[in-house]
Structure 1
């Protein structure tokens, strides 16, 4: 069994590994078994380079590693400022995230209040703002509150709402954070562990969605740019590859399956990687992948592991 610190490091390293593995295949249709899935880079991405999924998570992780409570306005202001700084030169920013950040920055530096207001207006105008952009970055929130589940749930919802005001997006973030926290604490993979934190009128629907994911291949779940479908695809990739055993090989198989789902490949694999890494640890990430990992803000996979450890020891609920 990997140590708890190894599992803490695995949350961020697994996220980045899935992200970089899926980056070259984004927007492509489902990938058949005759085709390879490799951390080879492609398009704008170098081999092992992570995308916006990990970059936005790093901004959250940096603030948490400084000891801030992510529920506080000052901490959220710092996260938003870091996202805005990153977005100015980023290779790729989600459409909804860019819209919210740009709207909030019209009168100067964006604040959490400004992005949340822009996020709420967008939701009011469209009636749906549950893209997977807040779910993809949520993993550090779980690491920050390993000993305070209720604070974690509050933080997950608050950070999600900064750019994705739809309750569906927040629900997905809560469920995945609860699953990651549970994996780090117990090594068990259980996405239902967070259902008690979902409002009662939506809980049964989420149970049905999880059951559907478990009975479906990742590639057969459409529209994985939607937070709900992205969660389903990531969980399906994990569940459908579990029969051959756990450990490092399950992490590799699960990420491979997530990428083969097609379309938003980097995001689905990043989401799956955060949970698989939380269960099996950084040591489960293939060494070749770990050696290649790098990205904004000019750091490596080793640095990511150190950042996760810093959250664990210095963050709002540290010193476990």
Structure 2
């Protein structure tokens, strides 16, 4: 809340419009991360000596994970989980972030392949610890376990210990996913830095992780605001922005980097390493930015060709470099859907970029529409409620259209015997859907469908303490079932051949 950070609406309330240059930088930072990740994916864990003999020069498939060229790994998947959490919660909620990381780990949520195939040991351990704590918390507070992922009560969220790591855990997995936080809170640098640090320590508990994420978050915020490269790489950047850090001193190893330890002409020969240790990773990414000769392509390839944790070093570089150069200055051959490698019929990797683009568009849409999430005026709240009511009125039409499209995709994907069926169920008691509370999510093949979670509602909600204006009353509950198409009759079935033919033109 504003009062908890010593800030006021007067000081930080944004205008309703966002500068096009900042939009370009936001897109650049998210896609910069994904491009770096995809470039390094096929040579992940390869040593520097291998890359000296076989340098990466372009997007290539196969290699370590057998991916199609352009597909990304855990770096981008976790960044998308974090971005979607910020959007869905309209706030920084570490519990929700961990839930989405768990969904990625267990179910392939936000994965480019539909499953989790690349996860660091520290991240895996913290997610498993989170699951243990969830089970105990559900028992202690008499919460049905199938609802534990959807906590919305602030008291319960505050009671849950989200620090699922410990001192000494200092891997680069905390830094590789960072950028959605400084993007989301870029208008309030002190808040952006504080949350940048916390975002890392929920899975990597060492103090130097907190400080490394704060420092890199500060660089990204400054880049979004148009800072020159000279200022970003200044050995006095930390001192020049001391108030952003809450007047706190950085860990000595992070401070060494802030003073320019990465500014080494020899690169690898002078000790720059693309390793899994967060200090090495931060130094390597900044070296690539410092030495890229104002070329994203040169910098990201230099980051990859350091070897070892190639995708993560390049993804970290891409966050800052993308924010500095902007989306329009990223190499077209790596981001343009018309590029030769981007052929959905031959490469089958369009899902990676569609997921990434959807995440970026959602993030931009939220920033454009609401400015900073802490400051929503009453007029905006009333408008939002009106939008909720309108959405509820047209919901039967929209859900039917969505379901036709889902079944068309199933039909075209070789699941001719499967069908997702809608079944609205009448409600006997006065009920409402709360748009502040999280709702259950069901998975059908590659579809994640938000289910109705009804709250009994008369004059006020009897299930949650959210603002009544966030509730929209309904007279039916919408459910979904997977059925066998061969034994199922539906008017929608007749539309599939037509839609299938129409979609080929």
Q: What TM-score do the two structures reach when normalised by structure 2? A: 0.55
Matched with 1:97 is: 123
Contact in 1 for aligned 2:22/2:224 (Cα 8 Å): yes
Structure 1 position 208 matched with structure 2 position 256: yes
Matches within 5 A, 1:43-54: 43-44=64-65, 45-54=67-76
In 2, distance between residues paired with 1:225 and 1:294? 29
Tell me how far apart the structure 1 counterparts of residues 304 and 267 of structure 2 sit (CA, whole Å): 9
Number of aligned positions between the proteins: 302
**CA distance in structure 2 between the aligned counterparts of 1:187 and 1:294, rounded to whole angstroms:** 34
Report the equivalent of 1:237: 288
Whole-angstrom distance in 2 between the partners of 1:56 and 1:91:
12
Paired residues for 1:287-298 under 5 Å: 287-290=332-335, 291=337, 292=342
Mapped partners of 2:171, 2:277: distance in 1 = 4
Which of 55, 62, 84 lines up with 1:35 in the alignment?
Answer: 55
Q: Is the 8 A contact 2:29 2:318 kept in 1?
A: yes
Deviations 1:70-124 (A, max 9, x none): 1xxxx2222111110011130111111001101221326578876734313xx3x
| Residue among 85, 96, 116 paired with 2:162 | 116
The 2-side partners of 1:17 and 1:223 are apart by 17
Alpha-carbon distance in structure 1 between the residues aligned to 2:123 and 2:370: 26
Are positions 1:260 and 2:305 aligned together? Answer: yes
Deviation at 1:133, TM superposition (A): 0.6
Higher relative contact order (CA 8 A, sep 6+): 1
DSSP 3-state at the match of 1:147: coil
Aligned partner (choices 31, 35, 50) of residue 17 of structure 1: 35
Q: Measure, in 1, the Cα distance between the counterparts of 2:184 and 2:76.
A: 16
Taking structure 1 as reference, are residues 312 and 216 closer, same or farther at Cα in structure 2, changes over 3 Å only?
A: farther
Change (3 A) 1:150 1:208: same
> Which protein has the bigger strand share?
2
Give the TM-score normalised by structure 1. 0.84
Which residue of structure 2 lines up, in the alignment, with residue 225 of structure 1? 276
Looking at secondary structure, tell me which structure has more helix per residue: 1
| Closer, same or farther: CA 118–64 of 1 in aligned 2, 3 Å | closer
Tell me the C-alpha RMSD between the 2 structures: 2.8
Deviations 1:223-247 (A, max 9, x none): 62011110100000111122xxx3x
Shift of 1:309: 1.2
Q: Which runs of 5+ in 1 are unaligned?
A: none
Residue 181 of structure 2 is matched in structure 1 by: 141
Structure 2 Cα separation of the partners of residues 180 and 286 of structure 1: 20
Consecutive unaligned residues of structure 2, counting only runs of 5 or more, are 1-19, 107-114, 136-144, 152-156, 343-348, 376-505
Partner residue of 1:276? 321
In structure 2, the CA distance between the partners of 1:314 and 1:264, relative to structure 1 (3 Å rule), is farther
Rate the CA distance shift 1:202–1:145 in 2: closer, same or farther, 3 A: closer
Whether the aligned pair in 2 keeps the contact of 1:8 and 1:278 (CA below 8 Å) is yes
- Most deviating of 109-118 and 3-12: 109-118
Task: Kindly name which structure, 1 or 2, has the bigger radius of gyration based on alpha carbons.
Answer: 2
Selected match of 1:158 from 192, 198, 205: 198
